Structure 1
């Protein structure tokens, strides 16, 4: 079921293109696209220290 904006009950509707997600380590600022790593390759911080950051539309 979708609302008037195309959002489904379990989240936004997905189109055929994959949605890119960027993660940033909150301790050192390291960025990675896709899935957050188990540990930061720069500072060794755990996955829990990563936050999703917006990717500018373009």
Structure 2
């Protein structure tokens, strides 16, 4: 199944949602990181998922 957490971290880093580093680059990342470049996640809409589940399970 490969390492999906690593793939996700790399993608989120590319999308400016987090800072990604490896143990060998940790010191450099900590010294040079600029938290202002990070983007916030948009709030989720869990009600949409709940409605989908209700319909899928025949509850609604």
TM range (shorter): under 0.3
Higher normalized helix content (fraction of residues): 2
Larger radius of gyration: 2
Could you state the TM-score of these two structures normalised by the residue count of structure 1?
0.24
Could you state the TM-score of these two structures normalised by the residue count of structure 2?
0.23
Higher normalized strand content (fraction of residues): 1
